[in-house]
Amino acid sequence: MKKETSKNIRELAYYSSLGLSVALSIFIGLFFGVWLDGKFETSPVLTLLFLGFGIAAGFRNLVMAAKRSRKE
């Protein structure tokens, strides 16, 4: 396998896993917020807060990927 082809396959794997990473960070934040709301009975407050954290983490992953693609 050529070196360039191997590099392209690695990049494709990285960017295809990026969507999974964004989705997981959002769902983890949502799950943790719902769990804390159930524990402390603060209904939508912690759910929305941790959902926001999850969305921010997902977008951070996208920004880091964009910086990585510009660097290469």
Q: What predicted TM-score, i.e. pTM, was given to this entire model? A: 0.85
Cα 53 to Cα 65: distance, rounded to the nearest angstrom? 18
Question: 13-57: per-residue pLDDT in tens?
Answer: 888 899 999 999 999 999 999 999 999 999 999 999 999 999 999
Cα 63 to Cα 69: distance, rounded to the nearest angstrom? 10
